Structure 1
Amino acid sequence: MRKDAQSLPTSTLCIQISIYSMYVGWGSFRFVQSLDSLVSKQSQLHLQTGRTLSLSPFVEDEEMAIKLCCFPKDPLGDVETWSESVDRLLSCKAGQIAFREFLKSEYSEENILFWLACEEYKKTKTVPEMISSANRIYSEFVQTEAPKQINIDCGTRESITKNISQPTLTSFDTAQKLIYSLMARDCYPRFLKSDIYQGLLRRGDSR
């Protein structure tokens, strides 16, 4: 990574490198490993030098972002349209990443992760793939004490649990709608006022 990127806030780097990986086709595992390595190096720098690392997203700095000259299209070019609706935000890869980073700051990242997992689940083509994906989603997001347990009512959770041995493509529809409603009603308005989104808007205005 270039020297000029080392001074960027960790949250800024997370979003910018994530967007970059989406557009140039890096594998998700490779990206996670690279990002973990980057954060680890920044943490070591802090311990060695005593330098305070800024974790606040998108400080007002014209040089805060890694240049995106390799992109066939600027991934932040549609950032203003994200305020039109949560659907517009979620339909954009860069929007998903920015919203995920915001939810992470509110300790509710599991909401968008579950929603995205359900979107992928509905694209499954074979029964074995569907069964495998359904069980992964259930164990990761739905079952009680799941590592990324989503906040849904007991009835919906019990219904999924009861039918998980014979899943269908609509097994998670009710839960996904509940989480979508929660994000749209509660999280999305705060995202539009957040430093993350406002910082991206400022970047667009300064071009």
Structure 2
Amino acid sequence: MCLMFLLCRAPVDDVVAWGESLDQLLECQLVFEDFLRTEYSEENLLFWLACEDYKMTSETERAAAAQRIYTEFVQVDALRQINIDCVTRGEISENISQPGPNCFDRAQRLIYSLMENDCYPRFLKSEIYQALLEQAEHKWLQ
């Protein structure tokens, strides 16, 4: 979804809510993803979303889903390698052959914290959000 579409369509309440918390922003992840892409860090959001999907995966599909997440985000030199500590990466690596439903929880919490404390504050100051906020406030005043 392009920014221009969002400028025209984003509900005023949504845009204002995005400034209140990362959780509110994650409800409309495309906006945050567009921003993260400009910073070359969309892998954080994509990993977080993949983990959310993983939690809903059936037991029969769990091993394949875990392997996909591991290959894309966790293993060293992964295409979209996330920035996690070596202990967390090691725990996932050890358990990937028999992944449980909480296999990625620690890494997901670390990435959420990174987004909340680093990416989200930059998003709030970004031209993308400021333009959306200005447009929303303009709509509200009409």
Higher RCO (CA < 8 A, seq sep 6+): 2
The 5-angstrom pairing of residues 54-73 of structure 1 reads: 65=7, 68=9
**TM-score calculated relative to the size of structure 1:** 0.63
Quote the RMSD (CA, aligned, Å): 1.7
Q: 2:130 aligns with which of 198, 203, 207?
A: 198
- Percent of residue pairs bearing the same amino acid type: 56
Partner of 1:79: 15
Larger Rg: 1
Whether 1:165 aligns to 2:101 is no
Shift of 1:89: 1.3
Aligned pair count?
139
Shift of 1:203: 1.2
Partner of 1:14: 2
The one-letter code of the counterpart of 1:132 is: A
The one-letter code of the counterpart of 1:85 is: S
Are 2:18 and 2:25, in contact at CA under 8 Å, matched by a contact in 1? yes
Shift of 1:87: 1.5
The 5-angstrom pairing of residues 1-207 of structure 1 reads: 14-15=2-3, 65=7, 68=9, 75=11, 77-90=13-26, 92-93=27-28, 96-124=29-57, 126-207=58-139
Shift of 1:158: 0.8
Are 2:12 and 2:137, in contact at CA under 8 Å, matched by a contact in 1? no
Q: Give me the whole-angstrom Cα distance separating, in 1, the residues matched to 2:70 and 2:35.
A: 24
Shift of 1:166: 0.3
Q: Give me the whole-angstrom Cα distance separating, in 1, the residues matched to 2:103 and 2:55.
A: 9
Q: Give me the whole-angstrom Cα distance separating, in 1, the residues matched to 2:45 and 2:3.
A: 15
Pick the structure with more helix per residue. 2
**Unmatched segments (≥5 aa) in structure 1:** 1-12, 20-64, 69-73
Q: Give me the whole-angstrom Cα distance separating, in 1, the residues matched to 2:121 and 2:66.
A: 31
Shift of 1:130: 1.1
**Unmatched segments (≥5 aa) in structure 2:** none
Shift of 1:15: 3.8
**Alignment deviations for residues 128-175 of structure 1 (CA, whole Å, 9 cap, x no partner):** 211111110000000010000000011110110110010111000000
The one-letter code of the counterpart of 2:2 is: C
**Alignment deviations for residues 174-198 of structure 1 (CA, whole Å, 9 cap, x no partner):** 0000000101011111100100101
